[in-house]
Amino acid sequence: MSETVLSASGVRKSYPSGDRRIEVLCGADLRVAAGESVSIRGESGSGKSTLLNLLSGLDAPDSGEIRWDGLAPSAGRRARFLGMVFQSFYLIPELDALQNVLMAGRMLGSPGAESRARARDLLERVGLGGRASHLPAQLSGGERQRVAVARALMNSPSLLLADEPTGNLDERTGEAVIDLLLGLSRETGTALVLVTHNPAHAARTGRALTLHDGLLR
């Protein structure tokens, strides 16, 4: 079996609610191997986004352990290790498509000709080669999400985390984005954790998990 990119063990997270605390995650475990694709389904409010935030190191669990390539998550490693795609795209409105993709690269230093070429290539691969100089406001929802996918892959991360990437898209556009995500992650050997409501999308990943009562199964 290939090496583990991401591991989570006994992860717990609770939020204060009035004078009690609601337990969102109560000991979730997850191992993702390099290049593997995993889907996570669950009811709304079951804690899928909470889990992804912990996996991405943006938030810390109350207890339990997260490991990126066997090491604790750190902000300094995030740009290189991790790409993220969100339900609502989060493109920077002042930057055109190409610059939005390049923005991920800028986190690692001034982009050279090589980075620019890579960003162009990624846009080409998500089918937006001709829209490089368009601002997010000039793109459709599906096109924006494709730019976000290209941005997530910009730094050749080991892991891609996608939180309901098709949530704001119609069925056909959503299908195209899932095609891209699965296709590109397979092509580039990037592990993928995909949170989705759509059983059909979940079925296309290598492993389909469900988050229920704070546990991953």
Partner 1 sequence: MPWFLYLALKQLFPTGRRFPFFTAISVTGVALGVAVLVIVTSVMGGFGYEIRRMIVQTEGEVQVKANGLMEDPSAVLGMVRASPVAAGATPFVEGPVGAVCNGRPAYPEMRGIDVGSVASVANLARFVRAGRLEDLDDDSVILSWELAQRLGAGIGAEIEVYSPLLFERLKADEIVLPRRLRVAGLFEVGHQHLDSSVAYVTLRAAQELYGLGRAVHGINVRLKPEVGDAEGAQQLQAALPQGAVARPWTHKWESFLWVLNLEKTINFFLLLFIVVIAAFSVMSSLLISVVRKTREIGLLGALGASPRDVALCFCAQAFLIGTAGTAIGVGLGFTVLHFRNQLVQGIAGALQRQDTLRQFYHFTDLPSHTLPSDLILTVVLAILISTLAGLLPAWRAARLKPVEALRSE
Selection from Mg ion, partner 1, ligand ATP, none that 92 binds (CB < 5 to 8 A by kind) is: partner 1
Give least dist CB 45 to ligand ATP, A.
4
Give least dist CB 18 to ligand ATP, A.
11
- Nearest residue to 11 (alpha-carbon basis) of 76, 57, 43: 57
- Nearest residue to 57 (alpha-carbon basis) of 31, 84, 33, 91: 84
x/- site string to partner 1, residues 42 to 81, per CB under 8 A?
-----------x--x-xx---------------xx-xxx-
| Environment class of 153 (CB within 10 Å of its CB; exposed 0-12, middle 13-18, buried 19+) | buried
x/- site string to partner 1, residues 98 to 127, per CB under 8 A?
-x---xx-xxx-x-----------------
Edge to edge, the sheet with strand 63-68 lists: 20-33, 4-17, 63-68
Task: Spell out the alpha helix ranges (H) of the chain.
Answer: 48-55, 75-81, 97-106, 113-125, 141-153, 171-188, 199-203
Binding positions for partner 1, 145-184, rule CB under 8 A: 151
From 19-27, 89-97, 124-132, 207-215, span contacting partner 1 (CB under 8 A): 89-97
Give least dist CB 59 to partner 1, A.
5
| Environment class of 202 (CB within 10 Å of its CB; exposed 0-12, middle 13-18, buried 19+) | buried
**Where on the chain is the footprint of ligand ATP (CB under 6 A)?**
15, 24, 42, 44-50
114 CB contacts (<8 Å, ≥6 apart)?
none
Give least dist CB 13 to Mg ion, A.
13
Selection from ligand ATP, Mg ion, partner 1, none that 114 binds (CB < 5 to 8 A by kind) is: none
Which lies closer to partner 1 via its Cβ, residue 2 or residue 133?
Answer: 133
- Measured CA to CA, the distance from residue 161 to residue 208 in angstroms comes to 15
**CA angle 165-169-172, nearest 5°?**
105
Residues within the interface to partner 1 (CB under 8 A): 53, 56, 58-59, 75-76, 78-80, 82, 84, 86, 88, 90, 92-96, 99, 103-104, 106-108, 110, 135, 151
